[in-house]
Each structure stands twice: as C-alpha cells, then as structure tokens.
C-alpha cells in the first residue's frame, strides 16, 4: 500500500474495464485519481466506490480524440492541482472492419483518432504538468495486437502498433527530465469491450468465443482487468524506476508460441487446466 502516495494520477477511459480497475487500484495506493471519460453515469458509480473505500477521486468528462476537450481538461488540472505525476492513457475503441481493401475509411480514421491520436493529445497537453516535477510516469495502453496482427482488424493493429512506438519516442524525448514512458499490452481480457465485440458470457456467441479462446493462452483462461491494473501500477510506481521505453505484454502467454495447434487439439492438456 502507498506506492502512489501524494501523487496526482490521470486515468483516461477510466469508467469501465481496465481503466476502472486501474483507477481503483491507484486510489488504494494513495493517489488522487482524476478519471477522464465520456461515460458520465459509470464515472459517478466509480467515484462512489473509490470514495466509500476511503480513496480520493474526481471525474472529468473528456473526449480524448478532441483537441479542445483535452486542452480544457489540462487547464482544469493545472488550475486545481498544478501538476500531474502519473498518466495512464487507456481510452480506446476497437471494431472489426474486414480485409484491408474492404475496410471502411471512416472506421479506420475513427480508431486512429481515439486510440492513437488520443494518446498523443493527452501526452502533449499533460506532459507540461510533469516537467519540473522530480519525476513522472506515463503508461500507454497498447495491446498484443500492436505487435501481432489480427484477422479483419488492421485499423486496430495500426493504432496499437503506433502507440507502442510512440511510447518509445516519448521515453527518449523526456528521459533526462525524469519522465518515464512505457506501454502495457494486454491479451484477451474480460471487459465491456470484449462483451461488445464478441457477446457476453450469457450469450451463445460470447460463450463460444470464450470457450475457444481460453485454450489459446498457455494459462488456459482470459485475463481479468485487475491483472492488467497491477501491471500498470508497476510501471507507474517507483518499482520500475529504471524502466522506460518498454512494452510489457500481459497475455497469459498467448504470444509465447509459434503455433497453438497441439494445445487446441490436445484434450488431455485441456483437462489439466479445467
């Protein structure tokens, strides 16, 4: 406990999923958490949860893809807190779009705008609130899809790949100012986004997706948002004080193999992980 005592931590896309789990964990570790999202009702519920547990949190309605919205948020933070110590760029969207020649231009642009441009805008306008501090930490939510490709999701692959390399650029730009920048690349995690893309646990399509996918990871299951939050905390805290410009893949071992064929077909292997 107390790994983020007296620190101002911004979490974008903080109302649900990985962002929500991370905001809650940051608050448990002593940070004053500024939750930035477009989901008002979910943010309100999160604040009640954090504050009832004795944590500190505030909510801000921010569209990370919109320059004016981000600038206004940065001005509010400057006026109220005067600094930012931790930035978790988590906000993002995803959607299949078909093969590249079929992929809708509007969808491609929309994903880049929220995922990649949003990460850039938040960094651009909040880094000045880190400069002059003794130290600062930026964690960008990328994805295993930023290092490895998916069928029919080239827009998402491009955005997340861009985030990984943008993180490295940020790390070398600001390392001598005491600001570290790293990315975390989750595998398949149980979040509201997964429900939107594949169906819920109660829906037949969602059940089929989870049944087929849980055997792809050597650990034999999907991940939990709280497991990603712990990785983000590590990168945001002094526990990783000499780590910058790196991408931490948290995928249950999914990207550790070259071909999953035997693991998928070997029933005896499956039974050992029931």
The per-residue pLDDT for 80 is 98
Q: How confident is the model at residue 177 (pLDDT cuts 50, 70, 90)?
A: very high
The per-residue pLDDT for 268 is 66
Q: How confident is the model at residue 191 (pLDDT cuts 50, 70, 90)?
A: confident
Per-residue buried b or exposed e for 90-103, using 16+ beta carbons within 10 Å of the residue's own CB: bbbbbeebeeeeeb
The per-residue pLDDT for 10 is 98
Token pair of 60, please?
């801000």
Beta bridge partners of 87: 10, 138
The per-residue pLDDT for 58 is 97
**CA gyration radius, the chain:** 19
For the cut 90, the answer to whether the pLDDT of residue 218 exceeds it is: no
Q: Domain ranges for the chain, please list them.
A: 8-271
Looking at the annotation, which residues are catalytic? 156
> What pLDDT, in 10s, does the model give residues 80-96?
999 999 999 999 999 99
- Point out the least confidently predicted range of 43-52, 84-93, 202-211: 202-211
Instruction: Give the CATH number of domain 8-271.
Output: 3.40.50.720
For the cut 80, the answer to whether the pLDDT of residue 201 exceeds it is: no
């Amino acid at each position: 406990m107390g790994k983020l005592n007296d620190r101002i931590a911004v979490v974008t896309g903080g109302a649900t999923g990985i962002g929500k789990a991370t905001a809650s964990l940051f608050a448990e570790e002593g940070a004053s958490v500024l939750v930035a999202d477009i989901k008002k009702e979910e943010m309100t519920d999160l604040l009640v949860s954090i504050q009832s547990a004795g944590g500190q949190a505030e909510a801000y309605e921010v569209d990370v893809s919109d320059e004016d919205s981000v600038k206004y948020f940065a001005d509010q933070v400057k006026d109220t807190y005067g600094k930012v110590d931790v930035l978790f760029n988590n906000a993002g969207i995803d959607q299949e779009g078909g093969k590249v020649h079929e992929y809708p231009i509007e969808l491609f642009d929309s994903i880049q705008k929220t995922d990649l441009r949003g990460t850039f805008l938040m960094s651009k306008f909040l880094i000045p609130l880190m400069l002059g501090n003794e130290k600062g930490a930026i964690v960008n939510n990328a994805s295993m899809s930023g290092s490895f490709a998916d069928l029919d999701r080239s827009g998402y692959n491009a955005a997340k790949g861009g985030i990984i390399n943008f993180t490295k650029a940020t790390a070398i730009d600001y390392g001598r100012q005491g600001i570290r920048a790293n990315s975390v690349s989750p595998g398949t995690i149980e979040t509201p986004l997964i429900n939107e893309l594949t169906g819920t646990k109660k829906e037949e399509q969602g059940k089929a997706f989870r049944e087929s996918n849980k055997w792809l990871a050597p650990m034999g299951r999907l991940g939990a948002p709280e497991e990603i939050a712990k990785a983000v905390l590590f990168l945001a805290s002094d526990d990783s004080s000499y780590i910058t410009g790196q991408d931490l893949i948290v995928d249950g071992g999914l990207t550790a193999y070259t071909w999953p064929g035997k693991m998928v077909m070997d029933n005896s292997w499956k039974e050992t992980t029931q």
